[in-house]
Amino acid sequence: MALGNDKERHLIGILPIVGYAIVAMSFVDFVSVLFPLQLQNPDWELKTISTLVEQIWAFLIGLGFIFTRYFQENQGDIRSVELFFLKFIRWFILIMAIVLLLMIPLVLLDTHRLLSFFNGQISTQKNNALKQVSQLETSLAKGDNPDQVRSFAKALNFPPEVLNLPAPELQNIIKTNIADAKTKITQGAAQTQKQQFISTWKSSARSIVGIIITSLTSIIIWLKIGQAFK
């Protein structure tokens, strides 16, 4: 029975080693995500916060492996340096939870800033497209020459059977297509803005929920570690 307990103790002893490796790699990952800093860049800030929230779970799992040492009967191999490190980690967890919670307003602000930027881009593209269509419409209104009308029709990639129609009828078809093009451009821009709004807020909402869950979990771990040291 004692032999079995020794084997079990040796197997459990592997977990803290794995835990320290996970914690060390987590710090490396945190640094690689944060640097180079791109502050005031809402896209970078949102992606960085999302990535950090995802990676923190590996860090917490690593701590869980480390603290399996406190559930062994013989804890004589736990050194004072390790105790100091774990006490430092305990307060690091609390600070991390507070910082994460303070990031929620930043996520909301960056989401608004990013959507404003996207909407500005989409509006500019829409206005440029409408301007080109309007220029074509103005040129068509001035063009009485049948050859010029057919040139416009070719530019719009009309099929041969349409190109062979009389000039007045062909001109009416072009005007109708220009009106349809304006409608499609406006509707397409509105649809793109809607999709961008949903996609951006979906990602931000996931980050906010992740921050809340991670922060609460970290605070509970901070309390539990404090009880273990009593």
Please write the tens of the pLDDT for every residue from 138-190. 776 665 566 667 676 676 667 777 667 776 777 777 777 777 778 888 888 99
pTM equals 0.76
Q: What is the C-alpha separation between 100 and 108, in angstroms, rounded? A: 13
Q: CA of 98: how far to CAs of 23, 61, 191, in Å?
A: 19, 19, 38
Q: What is the pLDDT of residues 103-136, one digit of tens each?
A: 999 999 999 999 999 999 999 988 988 887 787 7
pLDDT at 12 over 90: no
Q: What is the C-alpha separation between 139 and 176, in angstroms, rounded? A: 15
- Domain residue spans in the chain? 2-228
Judged on CB neighbours under 10 Å (0-12, 13-18, 19+), 27 is exposed
What pLDDT score does 67 carry?
78
Q: Report the share of the chain in percent with pLDDT over 70.
A: 79
Q: What is the pLDDT of residues 20-61, one digit of tens each?
A: 899 899 989 889 888 888 888 999 999 999 999 988 999 988
Q: What is the C-alpha separation between 172 and 25, in angstroms, rounded? A: 68
What pLDDT score does 172 carry?
76
